[in-house]
Amino acid sequence: MQRVNRTATIPTQVKNPDLVERRRRQIADAAVRLFIERGFHKTTTRQIARAAGISIGSLYEYFNCKEDILYLVCDFIHSEMEQGVTQAMTKATGGRDALAKVIREYFMVCHRMSDFILMIYQETQSLPGQWQKRVLENELRITGLLVGVLARLSQSGDLPHRDERSIELTAHNIVVMGHMWTFRRWFLGKHYSIEDYIKLQTAAVLRMCTGGQGK
């Protein structure tokens, strides 16, 4: 989708665009594993090159600086997240328990992408300001998808009406609950399976959405 935009965003010495696309993916794939394992700062450009199976010289044919690599990695992760969430939402249409289905699918996406989400929490600050902003915009867009779901259910009467801000905050809460499974996994993972987590948190969210009309 905005792949063209992305390719255009990071300049390169190399002429062949297909090759650029291919090599960058190859480099990003290698880099993301290293970033997850050792963090951005402790990973050297040489390690990235070695893991990608190219030379350090070649690496700099495709990127201008180390931060460029981090940005591309973040962008790939967000693309995948958004794709996951979007298709989770198409799977989960229909009335009453649509919300439960969306939550389940979203949490499963978070579960799968656990390491990646964690990395973004930790390394976003290492990006140049302008790209930091982009990463946050991506984050917001994913939240927006959930706002859409909640607003629709609210209007169709499947959920009690609540004002816009309340809906928005609920969306943020759900999104962050998904992230929480990743950044508190050192604890939660010991005591809950992902199925436990989904079940309990879904119940909690539903109470949050439907509860409280009585008084």
Partner DNA sequence: TCAAAATGAGCGAGCGCTCGTTCATGTTTA
Partner DNA sequence: TAAACATGAACGAGCGCTCGCTCATTTTGA
The option from DNA, a second copy, none interacting with 158 (CB < 5 to 8 A, set by class) reads none
The nearest distance, CB 28 to a second copy, in angstroms, is 20
- CA 43, CA 31: separation in Å to the nearest integer? 8
In the stretch 6-35, what mask flags binding to DNA with x, by CB under 7 A?
Answer: -------xxxx--x---x------------
Contact status: 154 vs a second copy (CB under 8 A): no
Of the two residues 17 and 148, which places its CB atom closer to DNA in the complex?
Answer: 17
Name the residue nearer to a second copy (CB basis): 26 or 122: 122
Q: For residues 47 and 64, give the distance between their C-alpha atoms in angstroms, rounded to a whole number.
A: 17
Nearest approach in angstroms of CB 108 to a second copy is 18
Instruction: Please report the beta strands in the chain, taking only residues with DSSP state E, as ranges in sequence order.
Output: none
Cα angle value 176/178/179 (rounded, 5°):
60
- For the CB of residue 133, give the shortest distance to a second copy in the complex, in Å: 9
DSSP 212: T
Q: For 92-128, where are the alpha helices, taking DSSP H only?
A: 98-112, 114-123
